[in-house]
Amino acid sequence: MRQPRRFLVLLTMAFGLMPALSVSAENPPEPDKMPDLTIEQFLQQLSTVPGVLHRKDPFVKSTPPYQSILDSWRSLNGEAGRPETDLERYEIKDYRVRAVLLGDIYNRALVGVPNATGSVMIVRENDRLGNRGGVITKIDRVGVTVVQKTKSRTGVVDNTTVVLPVGDQNAAGGGR
């Protein structure tokens, strides 16, 4: 008794699909008579929500409004196209040297990243630090020495040496 029921169900489904199949196979559109649509217009026809193409994609990271200023500054310093890291987002005085690791091959330091609770990054000499193009020149027992470019009010660009002491919670000392 099960076989006839299954057969009847399949038969009714087949007859239900026949009109849909016959309509689509009757008159296919000719390629020369198809309307000229842009990709956006074609996708809009497929969409059920009007204007969906003009909405912001929530999965795409937007660029900050000041990105053009940063790009122009980097192009002046010959750094165009290089991505910004967490070590280059803040002022040098905001970073804290948690520990210094003196080794045989090269010295390293653990630097705490501002505005990131408990985030520590390992740096070594010639790494960049700070938002003014600072470069780590020396790591020793005292701390991390960074040379950065500063511009005075008169427009003179000068290299400033800043020493970040190990474990200091106050602002970093600096000098020339």
| CA–centroid distance for 42 within its chain | 31
Judge whether 121 and 113 are in contact, CB under 8 Å. Answer: yes
In the chain, how many H helices and how many E strands?
A: 3, 7
Instruction: Report the DSSP beta bridge partners of residue 120.
Output: 112
Question: What CATH number should be reported for the domain holding residue 129?
Answer: 2.30.30.830
How do the pLDDT tens digits run along the chain, 176 residues long?
Answer: 556 677 777 777 766 666 555 544 456 556 566 667 777 777 666 655 555 555 555 666 666 666 666 666 666 665 555 556 778 888 888 899 999 998 878 899 999 888 767 788 899 899 999 888 889 999 999 999 999 887 777 878 888 899 999 986 544 444 44
Domain tally, the chain: 1
Considering the domain boundaries, does residue 129 fall inside one? yes
Q: Is 17 exposed, middle or buried (0-12, 13-18, 19+ CB in 10 A)?
A: exposed
Judge whether 124 and 136 are in contact, CB under 8 Å. Answer: yes
Considering the domain boundaries, does residue 29 fall inside one? no
Judge whether 167 and 97 are in contact, CB under 8 Å. Answer: yes
In 54-123, which ranges are continuous DSSP H helix? 67-76
Rounded CA-CA distance 3/71 in Å is 73
Domain that holds residue 153: 91-171
Q: Is 42 exposed, middle or buried (0-12, 13-18, 19+ CB in 10 A)?
A: exposed
Considering the domain boundaries, does residue 152 fall inside one? yes
The conformation of residue 128, written as its DSSP 8-state character, comes to B
**Residue 37 pLDDT:** 74
Rounded CA-CA distance 136/112 in Å is 15
Rounded CA-CA distance 24/43 in Å is 21
pTM: 0.50
Tokens representing 8?
């009847």
